[in-house]
Copies of this chain bind each other. A is one copy, B any other.
């Protein structure tokens, strides 16, 4: 996964931030779509409620971005939110924090291999995409939860500017 100058650029640093924040805007709409009394309780197939999945995303986003930026991989010390309003507040804090940390990521870190959280050997770009893919994956599950609750989820395009 090492990039070198002879390879084709398909995606820039700025593209990747906007792509992630676009997905995060859609996930925020999905959080909003859940009824307060279902987001931390409703489950299917023995899976976690979406509120817990969203908290997992909140524990990953900034620690991943910080790890890529600095090489220091520190887990989140956040405590789990217990209301939708609290979840949305943390979500918005991370939106601003992600925008703030992004410009501090040194360019070579995206292609550099590191050991994320002391465990996963991959490039910075791969660590970020893992976080993003995990978000899309769990949000897809939230769509099934919402549909099963009789709620129409936001369109897949709704996060785009």
Residues of chain A touching chain B, judged by Cβ–Cβ distance below 8 Å, are: 1, 3, 7-16, 18-19, 23, 44-47, 107, 110-111, 124-126, 128-129, 133-134, 136-141, 143-150, 156
Contacts and interface: CB of A to CB of B under 8 A. Distances in A.
Contacts of A8: 12-13, 107, 110
A45 B12 contact: no
A109 B35 CA distance: 43
A152 to B, nearest CB: 10
A144 B45 contact: yes
A10 B16 contact: yes
Contact of A147 (B7, B19, B44, B136): B44
A44 B144 contact: yes
A10 B110 contact: yes
B139 A141 contact: no
Given A8-B12, A11-B11, A47-B143, 13 more contacts: A3-B9, A8-B107, A8-B110, A9-B110, A10-B12, A10-B110, A10-B124, A46-B147, A137-B137, A137-B140, A137-B143, A137-B156, A140-B141
Nearest to A133: B136
Given A44-B44, A134-B156, A11 B140 contact: no
